[in-house]
Amino acid sequence: MGTGPFTFDSWNVGQQLELSIYDDYWGDKGQITNTIFRIIDDPQARRQALEAGTIDGYDLVAPADTQSLADAGYNIVSRAPFTILYLGMNQAVPELADPLVRQAISHAIDKQALVDQTLPEGTEVATQFIPEVVDGYNEDITTYDFDPDRARELLTEAGYPDGFEVTFNYPTNVSRPYMPTPEQVFTNLQAQLGDVGITVTPAPAAWSPDYLNQVQGTEDHGLHLLGWTGDYNDTDNFIGVFFGQEKLEFGFDNPELFTALEDARAVSDRDEQTELYQEINEQIAEFNPAVPLAHPAPSLAFAPRVTSYPASPVNDEVFTEIELSE
């Protein structure tokens, strides 16, 4: 609609969207004449559709499928990591309001194992809530390295020598760029937390509207999985979204942090603002409202005839630049 290379044909809501080339487009039209975006929720069903030849490619490949698809001759393309996956901790839950418990949870998690076992190749372990390419990334930030013994010590110090039970909310029937297989991430973290005595009660829910409404709109949740794909390269687009104001998701009120983010947002000098964001990232790390787990690198898979695909970390992908062999 307007002056772009494609024109709208049809939209079957929840199933597929169809576009075709706009004959009067002023620029290079490329090779694609007709495009069908089909919605397939399940990663296995997406793979089967590619192997059956009913689609030419799909996004959010399950990590376990990338190598076997590549070995079978399909083209695997990765987006550069511009995402964050985190484990949220709702401080409306009394145990999670204790800083010692939050530190224990952080020390209980082996992020590298989580990445190796559940997330796509190219994923980077996270130390903070912004990728390294974003201004304000703090090389010297406080971290809580994997240390189960220290986690048990902290739980004992907090008054839970035998651990405790907590609800763990996670979404189902969804793939996100920062979380292609949420059930696998949950299972992995459940085992890691169980090793230090934290027993989680699984609370799965369909992504939309159930999961998002519960985690972001109510106090009725505990530990939970969420994340973000950056819209543009700006620190506030990450940490400002998460921690810029009081939110039911995290259940805390930290006026000092909220004010620091508001003040940094208004600074026009880039170097000065970057330094402020580095300090804020350290402030967040010390407060520890959530565990930054990883910066996943989403994978796409294509039929052999798709020889080039212009992958973008922010999903700004121009279809006139796709190259086909036939």
Q: How confident is the model over 220-234, as pLDDT tens digits?
A: 999 999 999 999 889
Q: DSSP letter at 64? A: G
pLDDT at 1 over 70: no
Beta bridge partners of 166: 200
Give CATH 3.10.105.10 domain extents, the chain: 83-295
Beta bridge partners of 290: 88
Tell me the torsion sign for CA atoms 40, 43, 44, 46. Answer: positive
pLDDT of residue 32: 94
Query: CATH homologous superfamily of domain 83-295?
Result: Dipeptide-binding Protein; Domain 3 (3.10.105.10)
Burial of 277 (0-12, 13-18, 19+ CB in 10 A): buried
Query: What is the DSSP pairing of strand 198-206 with strand 16-21?
Result: unpaired
Give CATH 3.40.190.10 domain extents, the chain: 6-80+298-324
- What is the token pair recorded at 122? 């190219």
pLDDT of residue 244: 96
**C-alpha gyration radius of the chain:** 22
Element (H, E) at 229: strand 223-229
- Measured distance CA(201)–CA(221) in Å, rounded: 11
Q: Write down the CATH number for the domain with range 6-80+298-324.
A: 3.40.190.10
Q: Is the pTM of this model over 0.95?
A: no
- What is the signed CA dihedral for 123, 127, 129, 130, rounded to 10 degrees? -70
